[in-house]
Amino acid sequence: MTLVNTATDAAPATTAVKEKHPAALPMLFFTEMWERFSYYGMRALLVLYLVNAIGYTRSDALALYATYTGLVYLSPLLGGYLADRYLGRRKAILIGGITMALGHFCMAFEPLLHLSLGLLIIGNGFFKPNISTLLGSLYRENDPRRDGGFTIFYMGVNLGSFLSPLIAGTLGEKVGWHYGFASAGVGMCFGIAQFLWGQHKLGNAGLPPGKSRIDGQDWMHILLISFGMIPTVYAIMGIWSFVGPVWNSFALIVKLIVVIGIIAALWFGSGAVGNKQGKVETPLTREEWHRIIAILIMGFFVVFFWMGFEQAGGTMNLFADKQTDRHLGGWEIPATYFQAINPLGIVLLGPVLAMIWTRIDQSRFRLPTPAKLAIGMIILGLGFIVLAIAQTEANTVGKVGPQWLFFVYLLHTIGELCLSPVGLSMVSKLAPARVAAMMMGVWYLANALANYLAGMLEEILKGSSFPLYWFLVGSSIGAGVVLLLITPLLKKLMHGR
């Protein structure tokens, strides 16, 4: 059953005053802002908490960070599928928000560390793909405002991630780690409240099949599923205590092959045939398959971007903590504050980029989506040139000034603005409507692989002659150049979208 009625959902918000964005955009902006506040508060604190509070080694902390962030971006594949088929996007968003709030509050208690991470992973899977595709359903096909709307939405992501290192980071590093984690839970509760308060502006978009509103029975399902995740995570932890040692004995390439095989089986087994009523859906057309192939190719290339960018929560976080002189007079700047540079830059530069993309896309100089992604990758590589030089300097003198990280984050910010909101918009444009949320999950699969590699890359390169940051210079710039070269092929696969 198709759960995305793009034309119907978009019409009330877009046909009356064509130059304006949908009325629900501000509500989705603030909902996403608070959810990202909670996530990036956790991201800013996790590695520092593991190393400085619990006593993890650097490699063990980065390995847990890699597993957590990788699964955070893998879980949307399942959450998107369940929303497409059974739940509807609104129920999925509420289930995800409540489950993540539970996870953040559990982080306030050290013995519940792994339960907390499990709840956050599962909750993110329900929340993340569905709020993005819900926004996409409010725009008509080939709407020139779409990229601008997603860039505005992405500003909400980064407003939340700017506030979280300052608030959760200050509480965590200066007051107590668990206060920082609890503040992330409070932020998630604000996000749920914002969504409930403003959902009337969505019209019928994102409702469960056959429903005109979220009713009492839906709420019973939402609460049962959300709180039922606690015993579910404990059950998974019990199973993992037996399976984990065997899995950990496998080589990385074997793990990747197994995971990709399982995902492919799930996708082909569920994406093209029956719905929950047992009816047979119309098979995907040749053009729809071409568009899906384009998403998959671009998803492969963005792995190289996020593999570098997500060093921010791992090695770059430790670089700020251990190898950066953070003293300002008699005050030591918390290491988490450096992670606020990137989102602040996006909040300030986001409107400029939104205006630029909208004007370019409405002109004869319109850049195809793959070219925008490639530009972002190349700019990211320039940032790693700066960081590689800073690392060499730190190895010589011990600590370097904060200006090095400032310039790195500035370049990474510009690269991110070229890639991430445009990528989200691209998936919503290209994905066939009946698998839209699932394809958004597939897009996040690229992020999952990239996040896992980001945390493990230092360990993987340990036996080679490649310094980490110089390796990332080559991988990001190289991928960007190749993507530019194959842009004409991708344009054909996109069929003018």
Q: What is the pLDDT of residues 455-477, one digit of tens each?
A: 888 888 887 778 899 999 999 99
Q: What is the pLDDT of residues 230-260, one digit of tens each?
A: 888 888 888 877 877 887 777 767 776 776 6
457, two tokens = 């890359």
Question: What is the DSSP code string of 32-70?
Answer: HHHHHHHHHHHHHHHHHHIIIII---HHHHHHHHHHHHH
Q: Is the pLDDT of residue 381 over 90?
A: yes
pLDDT given for residue 390 in this prediction:
94
Q: Decide the pairing of beta strands 331-332 and 327-328.
A: antiparallel
CB 462 within 8 A of CB 35: no
Residue 344 Cα distances to 158, 161, 164, 341, angstroms: 7, 8, 11, 5
| pTM of the predicted model over 0.75 | yes
Task: Give the Cα separation of 438 and 259 in Å (integer).
Answer: 17
Q: Is the pLDDT of residue 324 over 80?
A: yes
Stretch 288-293: mean pLDDT, rounded? 88
Q: List, in order of start, the domains of the chain with CATH numbers.
A: 22-273+282-494 (1.20.1250.20)
Q: Is the pLDDT of residue 98 over 80?
A: yes
77: closest CA among 263, 296, 319, 306?
A: 263
CB 130 within 8 A of CB 80: yes
Question: What is the DSSP code string of 219-233?
Answer: HHHHHHHHHHHHHHH
pLDDT given for residue 167 in this prediction:
94
SS3 label, residue 391: helix
296, two tokens = 């998959």
Report the range of poorest mean pLDDT among 72-81, 294-303, 391-400, 412-421: 72-81
Q: What is the pLDDT of residues 1-28, one digit of tens each?
A: 333 333 334 444 444 445 577 878 888 8
Per the model's pLDDT, the better-predicted residue between 280 and 419 turns out to be 419
pLDDT given for residue 164 in this prediction:
92
SS3 label, residue 327: strand
Q: What is the pLDDT of residues 40-53, one digit of tens each?
A: 998 899 999 999 99
pLDDT given for residue 260 in this prediction:
67
Q: What is the pLDDT of residues 79-93, one digit of tens each?
A: 877 887 788 888 889
Per the model's pLDDT, the better-predicted residue between 40 and 147 turns out to be 40
CB 255 within 8 A of CB 456: no
Torsion angle of alpha carbons 41, 47, 49, 50, nearest 10°?
A: 140
Q: What are φ and ψ of residue 339, in 5° steps?
A: -75, -5
pLDDT given for residue 265 in this prediction:
64
The model's confidence at residue 154, banded by pLDDT at 50, 70 and 90, is confident
Beta-carbon contacts of 106 under 8 Å, excluding residues fewer than 6 positions away, are: 112, 115, 116, 119
CB 273 within 8 A of CB 281: yes
pLDDT given for residue 259 in this prediction:
66
